[in-house]
Amino acid sequence: LPIPAEPVTKTKVPKAISVAGKRFELVGQGIRQVTFLYVSVYTAGIYVNDALKKRIQSSSRWRQEYSADKLIKGEGEAKWFARDLVDGRNGSEISLRIDPVRNTDGPHLRNGFVRFLTARLRQEEAGMSETERASFADALDAFRSLFPAGVVRPGQALVFTRLSDGRLRGEFNGAETGIVANAALSQWVMEGYLHSQPAAISPFLVSSVAQGLERLARSG
């Protein structure tokens, strides 16, 4: 099968990637644009391992109740399905692949992630203990170190994987950059790219993933 191209920039996106020797298949892809002037920044792809793929295919709730519109519109059970995707049951793992379409740098990419993670923290911190908030702050510092310090060119992909035990694995240009042991942070990184409300990081990605998940759920 041909390698799919992201429709806005025509950037080729791999149908499968290898993470620490394990195969992950593409579910959906989309471009991240800066809203001002709609400048394209990077392509983003969501990938799932075989355990997660099989879990979705064998789930009666996914098969009977999921529809692409739920994730795209962010209504009803959208948060439940996004949470179920990232919860790591039965060896399930999910990856986010970021590939710039123009030269950028690690700190610029890092700051975008930190902004939406900090915003999520503000939403959730009332329900967190002081220990949990301190642990998250430490994890956020560790997360910052997963990004390269210098220029990131097209083809030099960043890959973040939520492992089945809740840790987040970082990779840049094929080499591991570290692992962050905080389940909340790894969950929020992935959910940040799956949620359409209050504003999707990439509406193109959410739409593509939503449709890919519908095909997957119906193929069981």
214 has pLDDT over 80: yes
Q: Please tell me the distance from the alpha carbon of residue 220 to that of residue 33, in angstroms, as a whole number.
A: 34
Instruction: Tokens 């390269």: give the residue.
Output: 148
26, 14 contact by CB (below 8 A)? yes
Give the model confidence (pLDDT) of 94-124 as tens digits: 999 999 999 999 999 999 999 999 999 999 9
Full DSSP string of 23-65: EEEEEEEEEEEETGGGEEEEEEEEEEEHHHHHHHHH-HHHHHH
Could you report the per-residue pLDDT of 120-138, keeping only the tens digit for each?
999 999 999 999 999 999 9
pTM for this predicted structure = 0.95
Q: Nearest CA to 4 among 37, 35, 30, 42?
A: 30
Radius of gyration of the chain from Cα atoms? 16
What confidence category does residue 198 fall into, taking pLDDT thresholds of 50, 70 and 90? confident
Q: Kindly state the tokens that stand for 54.
A: 């099989």
What is the tens place of the pLDDT at every residue in 5-50? Answer: 788 888 889 999 999 999 999 999 999 988 767 789 999 999 999 9
Residue 156 has a pLDDT of 96
Lowest mean pLDDT among 11-25, 35-49, 78-92, 151-165: 35-49
Q: Rounded mean pLDDT of the chain?
A: 93
